[in-house]
Chains A and B, each alone.
Chain A
Amino acid sequence: MIMEYKMDTIKTFYYDRPIIEKGYANQTLSIDISVPDISVKPVDEKMKDVFIGGKGFDLWLLWHSVKSTTHWTDPDNAICIASGPMGGTPLYPGSGKSIVTTISPLTGSVIDSNVGGYFGPYLKFSGFDALEVKGKTEKDIVILIDGVDEKVEILETSGLPDDSYDLSAILTEHFAQGKPRHISVVSTGPGAKNTRMGCLNFTWYDLKRKRARYKQAGRGGIGSVFADKRIKAIVARWDTVKADTNNPANGNALKAVGRKHAKEIVKLDPKQNEMATIGTTHLVTIMNDFDLLPTHNFQYGKHPEAVNIGQEVYRPIFDAGYDGCWMGCTVACSHGVKDFVPLTGPYKGTKVFVDGPEYETIAGCGSNLGIFDPHTIIEMNFYCDAYGLDTISVGTSIAFAMECFEMGLIDETHTRGINLSFGNRLAALEMVHQMAEGDGFGLIVGQGVRQMKSILARDYKADPHIMQDIGMEAKGLEFSEYMTKESLAQQGGYGLALKGPQHDEAWLIFLDMVHNFMPTFEQKAEALHWFPMFRTWFGLCGLCKLPWNDIVPEDNKDTPEPAKVMKHVEWYAEYYTAVTGKKTTPDEIIRMSEGVYNFQRIFNLKMGFGQRDHDDIPYRAVGPVKPVEYESRRERYDKELVEKHHVDITGMDTEEKNRLLRKFREALYEELKDAVYKRRGWTANGIPTLETVRRLGIDFPDVLELLKAHGIE
């Protein structure tokens, strides 16, 4: 790769690397790129007890960095990245995740996104449990955290490529000193600069294929904050990772529990979801069969062509080989496509390696756009990564624009001649290229659904009411790719999630809809307590959630609560105990998460959100907006009106029935809010009570003051 670029060191900070003790470096790294200034902050026992690590540490650092008025472009806004006490353990599957937080360009509040790749563990082993970067610069910079030479550097750069794909490859080579596996690069691309939905790419080095591979911290536009600060990349350099690098309290206990889990995965994955071969692509046809695969902007849940973008098609397309985004992960689900040749854009006609696609990208950039061509989806996936764009927000935003176009709310005069009909593959790709260039209608789409709704209403006089119903965002974040219309619990799973509608807090569709395991409000509320709490814990510890419940023990179904996979929860408690030396139990795990979870809710409150109204979701997520959607599931909806709500529907037309159904369903969602708030220890307005914050040890003076300002004392 021949490229003329310059990198000049403008600041160097030398430090003595601490020994990792029981999973912690016991300090964090703070960088203000405006000054520039680099410093180290201690981590004390209270911080570990209350915030555990990972997202907890990120939030604590961010809380002190931002004011309630901080805008995402302000220098105060920090990007925080952390691993967690178990992060970097090669013996236990899925132990290499990083979690990133910042104030989001899409939501205006805290966003968190978890991501694979080697960065988090390398950061910690270099001596830092978490990193916060704030400030802004005039010139492009690269930050190097070099745990081998015990120094942190800020380098001014010019001439480096814009796109993440080339940039990471060049920086890996530049800093590797012949050992590319010792490098992890965090970067974004031109799409992040020109939209609000930029993602960050985190690399891991694939020894067999001899290339940097990518995982994305996708949600919430963190890449756009990164680009706005003019950070080209953050690079971590670390040495060989060994079993004892994380220095666990009890190495033998860790080995025993780690081996148990790793072996079980190797034995059972081939019999279950085959994650090691097909990743999450199997979900496409399964969701389609259950009428849950979003198509045409979440109007419908199935399509006869879905089979064309399912696992049977992707299985032979994926390049076979080990695809673990962290060392020792036996799930190894991070697949890719070799020698892919894009048909459009700057890489047209050249061979590239594409990391993905995963289920969310296939549904978001495929079925939801009415696209059922596996190669167009791969091309969308590739360019989103290279441009630094979140495939979920890109998919859901284009889907919204396409529906507006088909409904005549906008036309070709607004899209500058582009026919944005569902299924138009070239138009979808063109939108992605325009987002990266900050040009044409793509510039508007790249602002996300919430901004688009105002822009289209203001500039093109599109009807704001219908856009409110069909624009699939809540809290400003685009929905991820599951249909929620027929599952009240999943409406809660999305609507009551702290950062916005992403399924990583609670995925309850099957439990609710398919298995009918929680028929009452109380059961739903209990699930909307336990699952978000348990899932939060992975992000505190530096762990990936997939090994928990994507492969389950053979006798799991005979346990009292199969959905919780309690055998694994117990293993996780053992794992935590073995690393930190703090004896823990499954119940204690939930309590740890509750502290951080409630703190994040209060953080939302600080930023002007975090109350009942902010948990609203568009009606498209709750029920059929248009008569044609009602008609597509008429039998189900008629039955619901008659049997559940005792309505006599004789003689009613579809519009009338739909109006009634809406009234009932909206009321149910409000009832669900009440039940969940109560279970979580919140007021009817969705704010944690004094008793809750005291019980969880998050009753810091500024928290109490904030609650007081909202009438809670």
Chain B
Amino acid sequence: MMFRVNGEQRSWYEGMTVADLLGDMGDSQHYAVVRINDKHVSRPYFEKTLIPDNSEVFLIPLIAGG
């Protein structure tokens, strides 16, 4: 019942969404995109996307790139 965020272990709970995760971390402002394993998820889908158990989550800083 664990998953990893940027390489660090966190405990997982059933029904956890990306929005929940960022809320728990107090970090919702800065991330518009996260990657769950190989899949990118953007902010419009944060509330709908569930984080699977055992997954690897990366918070993508995409600010003034391009």
A562 at interface (Cβ–Cβ under 8 A)? yes
B64 at interface (Cβ–Cβ under 8 A)? yes
* Cβ contacts A to B, 28 pairs, < 8 Å: A271-B6, A271-B7, A271-B58, A272-B60, A273-B60, A273-B62, A282-B40, A283-B66, A285-B40, A286-B33, A286-B42, A290-B42, A290-B44, A310-B40, A315-B38, A482-B66, A503-B66, A507-B64, A507-B65, A508-B64, A511-B63, A514-B43, A531-B64, A550-B65, A552-B61, A552-B63, A556-B61, A557-B27
How far is B5's CA from A651's CA once the two chains are assembled, in angstroms?
A: 51
Known: A289-B44, A515-B32. A510 touches B62 (CB 8 A): yes
A563 at interface (Cβ–Cβ under 8 A)? yes
Shortest beta-carbon distance from A699 to chain B in Å: 32
Residues in A neighbouring B40, C-beta threshold 8 A = 282, 285-286, 289, 310-311
B10 at interface (Cβ–Cβ under 8 A)? no
Shortest beta-carbon distance from B44 to chain A in Å: 6
Shortest beta-carbon distance from B65 to chain A in Å: 5
A509 at interface (Cβ–Cβ under 8 A)? yes
How far is B6's CA from A681's CA once the two chains are assembled, in angstroms?
A: 43
Q: Is the interface of B mostly helix, strand, loop or mixed?
A: loop
How large, as a class, is the contact surface on chain B? 20 to 34
New A-B pairs, 6, CB < 8 Å, besides A552-B63, A563-B63: A315-B38, A507-B64, A507-B66, A515-B63, A549-B65, A557-B61
Shortest beta-carbon distance from A209 to chain B in Å: 25
Task: Annotate B7-45 by CB proximity to A: 1 below 8 A, 0 otherwise.
Answer: 100000000000000000001011011000011101111
A554 at interface (Cβ–Cβ under 8 A)? yes
How far is B66's CA from A531's CA once the two chains are assembled, in angstroms?
A: 12
A312 at interface (Cβ–Cβ under 8 A)? yes
Residues in B neighbouring A531, C-beta threshold 8 A = 64
Task: Annotate A259-282 by CB proximity to B: 1 below 8 A, 0 otherwise.
Answer: 000000000000111000000001
CB of A515 within 8 A of CB of B60, answer: no
Residues in A neighbouring B38, C-beta threshold 8 A = 312, 315
Of B29, B33, B42, B64, most A-chain CB atoms within 10 Å: B64
Known: A312-B38, A315-B38. A509 touches B66 (CB 8 A): yes
Known: A271-B7, A557-B27, A557-B30. A511 touches B42 (CB 8 A): no
CB of B32 within 8 A of CB of A514, answer: yes
Interface of A toward B, CB cutoff 8 Å: 271-273, 282-283, 285-286, 289-290, 310-312, 315, 482, 503, 507-511, 514-515, 531, 549-550, 552, 554, 556-557, 562-564
Nearest neighbor of B7 in chain A, beta-carbon distance: A271
Residues in B neighbouring A282, C-beta threshold 8 A = 40
How far is B64's CA from A428's CA once the two chains are assembled, in angstroms?
A: 32
Of B7, B44, B66, most A-chain CB atoms within 10 Å: B66
CB of A312 within 8 A of CB of B39, answer: yes
7 A-B pairs with the lowest CB-CB distances in the bound complex, closest first: A507-B66, A289-B42, A563-B64, A557-B30, A563-B63, A514-B32, A552-B61
How far is B40's CA from A285's CA once the two chains are assembled, in angstroms?
A: 8
Nearest neighbor of A490 in chain B, beta-carbon distance: B66
CB of B45 within 8 A of CB of A515, answer: no
Nearest neighbor of A315 in chain B, beta-carbon distance: B38
CB of A510 within 8 A of CB of B58, answer: no
How far is B42's CA from A509's CA once the two chains are assembled, in angstroms?
A: 15
Residues in B neighbouring A550, C-beta threshold 8 A = 65
Known: A285-B40, A289-B42. A515 touches B29 (CB 8 A): yes
How far is B28's CA from A557's CA once the two chains are assembled, in angstroms?
A: 11
